[in-house]
Structure 1
Amino acid sequence: MGRRTMATEPEPQGPAGRRIGPPTQGGRRPGPRATGHTAGLTTVPTTLPAVQPLPTKGGDSTPEWLEPAMAANGIGSFDWDIRRDLIEADHRAATILGVAGPNLSLSSEAFLALLHPEDAPVVRRRVERAVAELGQCGAYYRTVFPGGALHAVRFRGRVLADAFGRPSRMVGFIWDATAELHKREDADRLAALREDRSRFIKEAARALSEAVTVRDVARVFAELPLPGLPPDGLVLAAFETGRLQVLGATGYPRETVANYDRMPLEPFQPAAEAIRNRLPIFLASRAEYQERYPEAWPKAAAAGRSAWAFLPLVASGRTIGLCVVSFDEARELDADERTLLSTLGGLVAQSLARARLHDAEHELAAGLQRVMLPRTVPSVPGVTTAVRYLPAGSGLQIGGDWYDVVPLPGGHVGLVIGDVQGHDVHAAGIMGQLRIALRAYAAEGHPPAAVMARASRFLADLDTDHFATCTYAEVNVDYGVVYAVRAGHLDPVVRRADGSSAVQSVVGGLPLGLSADQEYQVTRFSLDPGETVVLCTDGLVESRAMDLDTGMSRLCDSVAGDLPFADGDPIEALADRIANRAADSAEREDDIALLLLRWDGPEGGLAAQQLRRRIGQADLARVSELRGELRDALRRWGVAELIDTAELLASELVTNAIRHTDRDAMFTARLYREDGREPRLRIEVEDESDLWPKRRTPGEQASSGRGLMLVEALADSWGVEPRGSGKRMWFELTAGGEGN
């Protein structure tokens, strides 16, 4: 009977506000709150009192016309004399209560002792209320038979009043409700099972909707807990070109799955029939399988299953796969179970179709990206490069970001990093055209500014309504000089030899494609051996949740510091560290291109740290830039105490060269470090004039003529040397020397 109690019945009804007392005792009437003999319902005895047979008084009091109906339905009757606290019942009621004898007579305490301990208090409260209100009551309860068996019983009773309106008797019926209660329990169980199945369908739909790839769908399908019919085996297979490709399976040995993988479907197989007719096939036993598909049975028998469900996966009007659900024991699936499996097959079909489309798009994007980006980065003596590309992770996973490394005439190398507006196949196509054009301009030997101007004109002529940001840098491998041009792109980051990093400012211009006549300025900066230039696209340093300044600061932190131990080149470890931090970030929304170049020095190595620049005869502003580069170089080389003197004397030599000649001048600064001696700085300025400088003694009012006097006074040593066609002026400073 379970734990059901009288709560399943309506509360007894009676006259409102009426309070009934027990009968008078000893000629006195109790107070209005006295309950008389009904107090016996307040406790439940622990032992069952003896039952005395009732004396026969002319037979049962049940009317003759009602007796056949009660007998046919197994209904007994009872009569409870409230004043005497005596319950009398007929033989059917005694049988229902599990008491032997034709009739029974027992007190309320004895009656309560027959009930299950959990039900007795509920029955007591219902009866007491009915007595107090002169109403009726009823309930389900469990009775404990002498052997310990539990039976469900239901009763209905009404309280009758005497001539004075006081409760006198309760009469009613009692019948066995075990079968009725089992039906209710079965209905409750089925309702709970339907609720579980409904919840399962919702959870399965959610899990399958979150599955992105075919592998995800197979994993989710294999882990689904089917409510009410846990299967012993699950197989998910895709159907292509007449064959089944197993995507995922559980409950089967690996060799069994391998026997069916990529198996051609024969017409006599149940899987073939399910796919052909687009209808599920249910086989309840091994005998049914053998009878319906005798040719396929020998191979199926080896799997050891006894019941199967073959569910075709139909999406967009065509069958794309098959689900197989199997059981170890024979099982006849009911209508609800078949409906559940068919619904599951529909969900899996839609999810699998979406996942296959996603995988196809991903493969298309990956193939297109492989074509657009260089397959390999050329190796150039004197430099080491590393590249990374991270797709955005949504859509076709392709965009307009690209990188390139271009070997240039004269042993130089060109670095390109760029980003075409947009994140689709159109942007990727434009990126491919622009990459090829820019590579061609650079390979022809054009200077960086011309390369960028021609690329901008090329993109503008395509008339695509797209623009692109780009940074192009030409690296002089012999001297570590970088000539950089920036078109609306990010500044590069430089990792110094001591592990520090900083953003290298480069003069910017408009993005490519906005103006066909745009001109760009070149920024020169130098690298020491072992220093690295880092170029990237904005997906690495900018998102809706992260501004550009924060992103550049994080990039500098990633570039700086000690490099992790790696078996390969340290620059690869640095590239991995930057890329991994970007890949792990939840803020990333765009694809990322990353290009690193480390200057190792010219082949054969360098005798000293060096800064070398050419200064155009008409480029007077270049003298100011040169002073700044010289200051930065001396600070990096660790001889900052030489900066003021070297800057002053270098300015004098360079100004003298471009003022008194009509050709370009070549400036070279070298720092020599010799064992046991202080570092020595040598600065040379070469020109193609045969006119040698003359030392003069200017008057007080003269505006020139003091350059050589300053060189002679401040330098440790200086001189002029012929160079065939031209000359070389030089001076040297020693760190910690007297000339400083």
Structure 2
Amino acid sequence: MSHLVRLDAAAARLRVITTAGEQLTGADLLSFTLDQAVTESGGLGGMVHLRASGSRALLLTTVHGLLRTVVQNWTEIEETGPTTPARAVARGVPVWEPAHAVENRTGVALPGGGGLLAVPLIAPEGTAGVLSVLMAAAEEPTPRQRAAVGALAAWVAPRLGRLWADGQQVRSRHTPDESPWAVGGAGPGRPGDPARTAGPDGSSGKTPATPESVSRVLWHMSDAFFAMNSAWRLTFVNAEAERLLGPSHALLGRTLWDTFASWRVDLADGFQARCRQVVDSGIPANFTLRWPTNQRWYQMRLVPVPGGLTVYAADVTESQARKAERAAAERAAAERTARITELTTALAQALTMRDVVAAIAERVLPPFGASGLVIEIIEGQAIRVAGSVGYSQTFLDSLDGAPVASITPVSEVYHSGQPAFIGSVEEYIARYPLMSGLAAASHKAAWAFLPLIVSGRCIGCCVISFGESRRLDGEERGLLTALSGLLGQAIERARLYDTEHTRAKELQRGLLPRALPSLRFVETAARYLPASEGIDVGGDWYDVIPLSGARVALVIGDVMGHGLPEAATMGRLRTAVHTLADLEFPPAELLTRLNDLVSDLGESFYATCLYAVYDPAPATCTFACAGHPPPAVVRPGHPVRFPEYSPDPPLGAARPPFETREVSLPEGSLLVLYTDGLVEAATRDIGHGMNHLARVLSGAAFRSGLQPGAPAARRDRDRCENASLEQLCDEVLAELLPDKRLPDDDAALLIARTHPIASGDITTWPLPEGAIAASEARDHVRGQLARWDLDALTMTSELLVSELVGNAIRHAKGPIALRLLRGEKLICEVSDSSLTTPRIRHAADTDEGGRGLQLVAALSQRWGTRYTSAGKCIWTEQQLP
């Protein structure tokens, strides 16, 4: 359609031109036609050749915009020669040739490197000549350019009359002293000058010219037009140019630069430089400028002519405005496209709902000038707020939980699946009168409700709001509607991720200890951090297990890999460690049995584990490692160190026996257990990580007040030390995490503060062999409990000791020993050198014995047997009063 409009406009312009030239004849007609042909086609210049009578030559009759040095090679050309005009006459059709083809064919170079378009002048009497236009570009002329030159040639050819038929041509119009009007026809700037032309009788002479007719045409042109001579003085100014420059009577004879100077504008130097460049090069030039007097835009065309310069100024303000509008629209479209691309990338990288909301707020709200965002998801029959920007929590609470069946914009969008746009508060209240309070509470004035469609179903609504009334146009509405599909996919994906991530965290928490036991001789604190990415659960775990004799087992492990199989393996290993710990296996034996369990799971399962047992009586810790980093030991007044040991392979790949190490832990020592995720990262190997951990522990332990100090009450000391351990865990994590972010791998940290048993809380007696041993044992127990102010436990303790010593005398061998230990509970231990494990059996009614262990189990809170390096030990625990 736009192409047809341009063609109609061009045809209308040609009708105006031809109407203006109806009264012209002879040379004036040719000059007028050539001038218009050059202008309409955007050419650099042009020439007209007419056929000479009685010869086969084409004679140059009229020139426009070409210098003498150029036209001297074209004054007379052979009708049958190789030139472009001659070929057009011979063929009777327009001919176009680029400059290099013309030069190769004729040896004559064309200025500007463009090309030559030659159109034959076909009159009823025959071909009168040829009109040629020198084009600025080397590309073939457009259909519009061809049509303009062809229409003017077809219009002028029948009007030439006998100008060419009698062979009388004007060839004296190219002398260098002529004014700028000499090459274009009669001088309209000088109405009294005659125009030199040839008479119809072929004789050379002066005939009356009609410059007034040309002057009238130029005077009434819709474009501004003025001419300057070689001294840059104005010689002609038409009516439109007077509106730009001033009245002609004050301009003619003055230079244009004087006029510019009187305006006090910075225009003279640049304009004069362009004019000189055009005159020197002989090539017309076009440029656009904003006229200083009326601030309108003009397309300036400078055309050099012998002896001066002509200037055309076409008002292009409207087209410049449209061009600016198109440029602004294109920039806005490009910006929106860029933001959509950025949004697509950001949504593709977003994992959680928080990430999605942040991406929408950053890349969707600014381009539309929006100030608020709410993501509302339909769960069952209720509307839930999943994320927001630009709203108060009070307002969001009023939205959350609203029923889907209520009459609200969100409900309508959910049921219809179509977006809704509300441009003002008044429109909102008119459509939803019962929701006027909600509209006022939102502090917004316009809304776009976008359905979130996923796989053909609506899962909710994305509400984009504006602080002021806003009518979105069709393009903006279409863009937001298109974006809603992209947002729906990202939001649904984020919902699934958040759900799975929550379930994974719940599973992880369920597999780890919910709370660490509160023990008298060991205070503990722990931290677990999942990996920074992904929803798979990890295989890191830790545990604190109370053992007999006030001993404590400290465990930490790591199942290699992530996912539900690894988490299930971790749960099985943790359960197995609890079971084996209850059987009182030493660390090396426990890891041996644990290795068999992991090996039975398959070749794809491996795990690392550190199992340590702290005994407060000698204040020592015995541990064994299966592919796990060694513990860090912090003794008061000593540097942090890692016990030296030969690392064993991980569980599932190890070959027992495992190496056992023992370290002493005086009062106030710290034992730090950790997994490799805490000390190892992509930018740090495990060795550097352990050194970093040692430095952090040295400083953090001192700042947390974990150095030994003055004695305090037991309860106050425990409370302070537990708080200090929690603070120490936080400081260690804050320092060791790379860039203060979550680790690349799961990380677990377990810190224990140890206290030895005070000498007054433990007593050991050797017992003689024979029946007297039970009596002595009762005496020892009675006396010690009295010293501990535990007389309430004397009778029960005497019965327990009598049964344990009696069993040792009857069923065991070797020396017998009794130990009483006061900790969280009262512990009674009887040891012997036998490896036989006592078992409870059901005694018959007539049996005289076999009920001793039943009595022990009934009287004690807990009892059991453990093996020692010298034999075994049977122990009982009673709750302290």
TM-score (norm 2): 0.57
For the pair 1:156 / 2:304, whether they are aligned, the reply is: no
Within-5 A mapping of 1:376-387: 376-387=515-526
Q: Distance in 2 between matches of 1:249 and 1:452?
A: 52
For the pair 1:523 / 2:661, whether they are aligned, the reply is: yes
Match of 1:592 in 2: 747
For the pair 1:556 / 2:701, whether they are aligned, the reply is: no
Q: Deviations over 1:262-300 (max 9, x none)?
A: 333446433333333433322344565456556656743
Q: Distance in 2 between matches of 1:461 and 1:66?
A: 107
Q: Deviations over 1:10-60 (max 9, x none)?
A: 99787699699xxxxxxxxxxxxx99999xxxxxxxxxxxxxxx9987998
Partner SS, residue 337 of structure 1? helix
Distance 1:120 1:592, change over 3 A: same
For the pair 1:142 / 2:290, whether they are aligned, the reply is: yes
Tell which structure's C-alpha radius of gyration is larger: 2
Partner SS, residue 324 of structure 1? strand
Within-5 A mapping of 1:602-681: 602=757
Match of 1:191 in 2: 330
For the pair 1:85 / 2:240, whether they are aligned, the reply is: no
* Structure of greater relative contact order (alpha carbons < 8 Å, 6+ residues apart): 1
Partner SS, residue 539 of structure 1? helix
Match of 1:271 in 2: 410
Matched to 2:236, the amino acid is E
Partner SS, residue 422 of structure 1? coil
Distance 1:254 1:503, change over 3 A: closer
Distance 1:476 1:356, change over 3 A: same
Q: Distance in 1 between matches of 2:249 and 2:365?
A: 53
Match of 1:542 in 2: 680
Distance 1:687 1:220, change over 3 A: closer
Partner SS, residue 170 of structure 1? strand
Larger helix fraction of residues: 2
Matched to 2:542, the amino acid is Y
Q: Deviations over 1:146-169 (max 9, x none)?
A: xxx4222233342222xxxxxx24
Match of 1:262 among 398, 401, 407: 401
Q: Which moved more, 1:184-193 or 1:423-432?
A: 184-193
User: Which structure 1 segments of 5+ residues have no match?
Assistant: 1-8, 21-33, 39-53, 162-167, 609-661, 667-685, 689-740
Q: Distance in 2 between matches of 1:605 and 1:181?
A: 101
Matched to 1:384, the amino acid is E
For the pair 1:99 / 2:246, whether they are aligned, the reply is: yes
RMSD value, Cα: 4.2
After TM superposition, give the deviation of residue 495 of structure 1 in Å: 1.0
Q: Distance in 1 between matches of 2:441 and 2:675?
A: 58
Match of 1:513 in 2: 652
Match of 1:388 in 2: 527
Q: Distance in 1 between matches of 2:452 and 2:417?
A: 8
Partner SS, residue 196 of structure 1? helix
Distance 1:302 1:539, change over 3 A: closer
User: Which structure 2 segments of 5+ residues have no match?
Assistant: 1-40, 46-64, 72-175, 181-188, 193-208, 706-719, 764-812, 818-830, 834-881
Q: Which moved more, 1:249-258 or 1:387-396?
A: 249-258
Distance 1:348 1:532, change over 3 A: same
For the pair 1:129 / 2:280, whether they are aligned, the reply is: no
CA contact (8 A) 1:485 1:507 kept: no
After TM superposition, give the deviation of residue 253 of structure 1 in Å: 5.3
Q: Distance in 2 between matches of 1:445 and 1:352?
A: 53
Matched to 1:594, the amino acid is L
CA contact (8 A) 1:481 1:527 kept: yes
CA contact (8 A) 1:496 1:531 kept: yes
Matched to 2:280, the amino acid is A
Within-5 A mapping of 1:316-715: 316-396=455-535, 398-463=537-602, 465-506=604-645, 508-514=647-653, 518-561=656-699, 562-565=701-704, 568-569=721-722, 570-585=724-739, 588-602=743-757
CA contact (8 A) 1:323 1:345 kept: yes
Within-5 A mapping of 1:164-203: 168-203=307-342
Distance 1:295 1:379, change over 3 A: closer
Matched to 2:693, the amino acid is L
Distance 1:594 1:331, change over 3 A: closer
Matched to 1:194, the amino acid is A
CA contact (8 A) 1:112 1:120 kept: yes
After TM superposition, give the deviation of residue 226 of structure 1 in Å: 4.6
Q: Distance in 1 between matches of 2:547 and 2:759?
A: 20
Matched to 1:134, the amino acid is G
Distance 1:329 1:87, change over 3 A: farther
CA contact (8 A) 2:521 2:550 kept: no
Match of 2:452 in 1: 313
Distance 1:468 1:225, change over 3 A: closer
Matched to 1:437, the amino acid is A
Q: Distance in 1 between matches of 2:464 and 2:262?
A: 50
Partner SS, residue 528 of structure 1? coil
Distance 1:369 1:175, change over 3 A: same
Partner SS, residue 342 of structure 1? helix
Q: Deviations over 1:446-481 (max 9, x none)?
A: 333332222222223334631222121222122212
Distance 1:122 1:367, change over 3 A: same
Q: Distance in 2 between matches of 1:65 and 1:479?
A: 124
Percent identity for Structure 1 against Structure 2: 31
Q: Distance in 2 between matches of 1:293 and 1:512?
A: 67
Q: Which moved more, 1:496-505 or 1:535-544?
A: 535-544
Matched to 1:85, the amino acid is R
Matched to 2:320, the amino acid is L
Partner SS, residue 150 of structure 1? coil
Q: Deviations over 1:199-221 (max 9, x none)?
A: 32233344444544322332343
Q: Deviations over 1:113-143 (max 9, x none)?
A: 4889455444322221221233323322222
CA contact (8 A) 2:634 2:671 kept: yes
Distance 1:372 1:233, change over 3 A: closer
After TM superposition, give the deviation of residue 181 of structure 1 in Å: 1.6
CA contact (8 A) 1:286 1:307 kept: yes
Q: Distance in 1 between matches of 2:337 and 2:608?
A: 53
Q: Distance in 2 between matches of 1:485 and 1:395?
A: 32
Q: Which moved more, 1:584-593 or 1:83-92?
A: 584-593
Partner SS, residue 491 of structure 2? helix
